[in-house]
Amino acid sequence: MTRKTKTLRASLNHAKTERERLESSLRRERKELSSHREKLEAAKRVRDLANDLARVVQQNVHSRISELVTKALASVFDEPYEFQIHFKRSRNSTVADIVLTRDGKEFDVRAIGGGVIDVIAFALRCSAIALSRRKVRRVLFLDEPFRMLSSAYRARVKLLIERISEELNIQIIQITHHEDLKIGKVIRIGD
């Protein structure tokens, strides 16, 4: 065998060995890629399941909150709004927009009067306490919660406070200067 043949044979053997090594590496990489694809698909299924669960929870929470807030608005105002929360997905998170409707029209919360906002804020606070699963005493502290509310609606708000306190078993402690909003045990400071 000539020297050139030996060199070519050595190169060929080296190339075969390299080819076998590369083929083995390719098989390992394909197997690993397949494993990663399976994990990715499993992660997508988990994500979809979590999103479905989140939608169910959002709908449940939305119905409970919107029902309480809408009832509160209806008990105070002659032409009440319906309270809704619109959930949207944005950048892998959920965004909640508050919407008020009346007679099929949507209203921007920022354009609504302060008294309506006061009632909504009160009802949302009560909703948060009612939805809490912690086994603590339900107490709500309020400082002038209805300061923007017209005096024409205070008697209705007083009834609302009493009803919500009783129905949701929430003790409400409020600071107010409005005589017609004083309920239950009244402690006067600085008269």
103-145 pLDDT, tens digit each:
989 998 888 888 999 999 999 999 999 888 777 788 999 999 9
pLDDT digits (tens, 9 = 90+) for 144-172: 999 999 999 999 999 999 999 999 999 99
Question: What pLDDT is recorded for position 65?
Answer: 93
Nearest-angstrom CA–CA distance, 142 and 72: 17
**Contact 119/150 with Cβ under 8 angstroms?**
no
Q: Counting beta carbons within 10 angstroms of the beta carbon of residue 4, is it exposed (0 to 12), middle (13 to 18) or buried (19 or more)? A: exposed
**pTM of the predicted model as reported, rounded to 2 decimal places:** 0.73
Strand order in the sheet with 82-90: 82-90, 93-102, 105-107
